[in-house]
Chains A and B, each alone.
Chain A
Amino acid sequence: GQNIDQPTEMTATEGAIVQINCTYQTSGFNGLFWYQQHAGEAPTFLSYNVLDGLEEKGRFSSFLSRSKGYSYLLLKELQMKDSASYLCAVRDNDMRFGAGTRLTVKP
């Protein structure tokens, strides 16, 4: 079977750092993606990892360990606008999504 697990909800404070974890078990692997989805809107692409290690993109970084079936999304210098759901997805022949982590950033 295919499983992609991530925490349901997280809360953090403006200006802080938060790490959203994702573990996966899939039959194939062609990359791991993170998407951001604000309430009532479509998901938007944040990051892509296909090799082990850390990919940094401004305030956002994503890490992958293929041997452990593990990824995390790191958000630094949190802003109120970062309050959203964050979706972990694994690409095999098509994209499989986790249920998403709803992040609330408080002042």
Chain B
Amino acid sequence: DVKVTQSSRYLVKRTGEKVFLECVQDMDHENMFWYRQDPGLGLRLIYFSYDVKMKEKGDIPEGYSVSREKKERFSLILESASTNQTSMYLCASSTGTTSGGGYTFGSGTRLTVV
């Protein structure tokens, strides 16, 4: 089974802190994604990556950056955390093909910024 592991299940950070959310997948997937999920808004794409050292902005990249130095690891960085970044963050990975390439999600990180 594909496994996507997010380093923390719950995090509490202070406003202005730099926050790192880590995601690792173990099935050699090319594609990795970061979403945030908020009630009534569904999943919104922050950043994605189709290859090592490659990154593309999603719908809501402001206030975030990413790093993909190795194929299996995709990190989301909150440069200066703010209270409006309190959310559930979900990492996902998929194969490079489009045929049936559903996403496998990590268990999520619930981040609270105080």
Contacts and interface: CB of A to CB of B under 8 A. Distances in A.
Are A and B co-members of a single complex?
yes
A42 B90 contact: yes
Contact of B101 (A41, A91, A97, A98): A91
Interface stretch (B12-20, B36-44, B62-70, B71-79): B36-44
A63 interface: no
Contact of A45 (B42, B44, B48, B104): B104
A50 B105 contact: no
A2 B48 CA distance: 18
Contacts of B45: 94-96
A20 to B, nearest CB: 14
Given A30-B98, A48-B100, A100-B42, 6 more contacts: A31-B99, A35-B103, A44-B105, A45-B104, A94-B33, A97-B44
